[in-house]
């Protein structure tokens, strides 16, 4: 009967229940080459290639590649990059799994409290404390803070402890014979969800990287065309400006809309941190995060800023040289660490 529950575990040993550790691939990071939001990049690309189409004969005279077919292919690449799923869609899977983890983590803690009651009924008062510790009590506090690794350890120690002491715990009708199987099944469900959550994070990162690579591709092609346009119209400043990235960025983003926004979360639990103070140093610009951990500060002039994030019970964070571009509200997400 016990074996059918053990089959739910990623790996197991009949005498000792051992939870395996999933090693996720670490991908080399590709960073955006464009100093703008993605939406502004797409808008700038559209504007740039529209101007290229308008002056296509001049471009074609300069380089034979600038055919209508070539320009159409460059526009199609913009559409393809724009249509790739964004972070919000990919993150929805991880958010749903996070909700399930919270629910299953609460069930793991309930199972452990039940085990403590059985330990209380099986051992004398002076022997209960070391038994609690042997069962994993040292992981309970962090498990209560939704530390997923701590919950994994709590489940591991508890199920191993029950297996080693099942006869003692069950003596005098103290612990029902089904308790170990139930604990194992619940622990296996948590482990499966935890692995899926980690995999979802990896998949989201892979998707993000694929989108950044596609964006970098259309950016590189755009910049080469813009430089050609600047050379072609070097004697006509009005037209030349149609092929300057910063000019296009200002037109795409608008003046006075620049700033910074983001989300602040707890490093361990991944839960939002409300009422965190975000201060742009050497200015009077501050903001408080809301119940979802979100904040926004604007307008800001373009430039480099040092930013302090602080919240009660957490270590202060200083972000140095955060760049704000003309017309762009940049994203700055922060993970805060509790004070030990």
pLDDT tens, position by position, 67-117: 999 999 999 999 888 888 654 444 566 677 888 888 999 999 999 999 999
Residue 286 banded pLDDT, cuts 50, 70, 90: very high
pLDDT of residue 19: 43
Computed over every residue of the chain, the mean pLDDT equals 83
Q: Residues 188-207: pLDDT tens digits?
A: 999 998 888 877 666 556 56
Q: Which of 13-27, 105-119, 314-328 has the lowest mean pLDDT?
A: 13-27
pLDDT of residue 17: 45
pLDDT of residue 298: 83
Residue 12 banded pLDDT, cuts 50, 70, 90: very low
**Could you tell me the residue ranges of all domains in the chain?**
1-253, 255-340
User: Between the ranges 18-22, 244-248, 291-295, where is the mean pLDDT highest?
Assistant: 291-295
pLDDT of residue 22: 41
Q: Running DSSP on this structure, what letter comes out for residue 324?
A: E
Which among 80, 81, 49 is positioned nearest to 67, based on CA atoms? 49
Q: Pseudo-torsion of CA 49, 55, 59, 62, nearest 10°?
A: -160
Q: Say what the pTM is.
A: 0.42
pLDDT of residue 246: 80
87, 152, 205, 206, 210 from 28: Cα distances, Å: 18, 28, 11, 10, 12
pLDDT of residue 54: 93
Considering the segment(s) 255-340 as one domain, its CATH architecture is Sandwich (2.60)
Contact indicator for 75, 221 with CB cutoff of 8 Å:
no
HEC secondary structure over 59-96? HHHHCCCCCHHHHHHHHHHHHHHHHCCCHHHHHHHHHH
């Amino acid at each position: 009967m016990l074996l059918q529950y053990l089959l739910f575990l990623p790996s197991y040993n009949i005498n000792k229940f051992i939870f395996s550790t999933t090693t996720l691939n670490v991908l080399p990071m590709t960073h955006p080459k464009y100093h703008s939001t993605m939406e502004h990049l797409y808008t700038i690309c559209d504007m740039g290639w529209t101007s290229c189409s308008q002056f296509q004969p001049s471009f074609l005279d300069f380089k034979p590649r600038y055919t209508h077919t070539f320009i159409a292919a460059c526009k199609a690449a913009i559409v393809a990059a724009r249509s790739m799923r964004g972070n919000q869609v990919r993150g929805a899977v991880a958010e749903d799994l996070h909700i399930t983890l919270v629910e299953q983590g609460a069930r793991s803690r309930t199972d452990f409290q039940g085990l403590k009651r059985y330990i209380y009924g099986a051992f004398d008062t002076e022997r209960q404390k070391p038994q609690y510790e042997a069962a994993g009590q040292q992981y309970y506090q962090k498990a209560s803070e939704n530390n997923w690794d701590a919950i994994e350890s709590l489940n591991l120690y508890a199920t191993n402890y029950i297996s080693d002491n099942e006869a003692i715990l069950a003596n005098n009708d103290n612990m029902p014979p089904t308790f170990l199987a139930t604990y194992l099944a619940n622990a296996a469900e948590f482990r499966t969800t935890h692995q899926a959550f980690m995999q979802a994070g990896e998949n989201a990162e892979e998707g993000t990287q694929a989108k950044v690579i596609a964006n970098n591709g259309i950016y590189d092609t755009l910049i080469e065309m813009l430089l050609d346009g600047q050379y072609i119209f070097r004697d006509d400043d009005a037209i030349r400006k149609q092929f300057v990235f910063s000019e296009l960025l200002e037109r795409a983003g608008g003046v006075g809309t620049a700033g910074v926004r983001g989300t602040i979360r707890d490093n361990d639990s991944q839960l939002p941190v409300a009422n965190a103070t975000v201060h742009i140093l050497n200015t009077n610009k501050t903001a408080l995060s809301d119940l979802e951990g979100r904040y926004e500060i604007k307008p800001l002039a373009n430039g480099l800023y040092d930013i302090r994030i602080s919240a009660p019970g957490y270590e202060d964070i200083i972000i140095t040289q955060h760049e704000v571009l003309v017309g762009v509200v940049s994203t700055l997400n922060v993970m805060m660490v509790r004070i030990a």
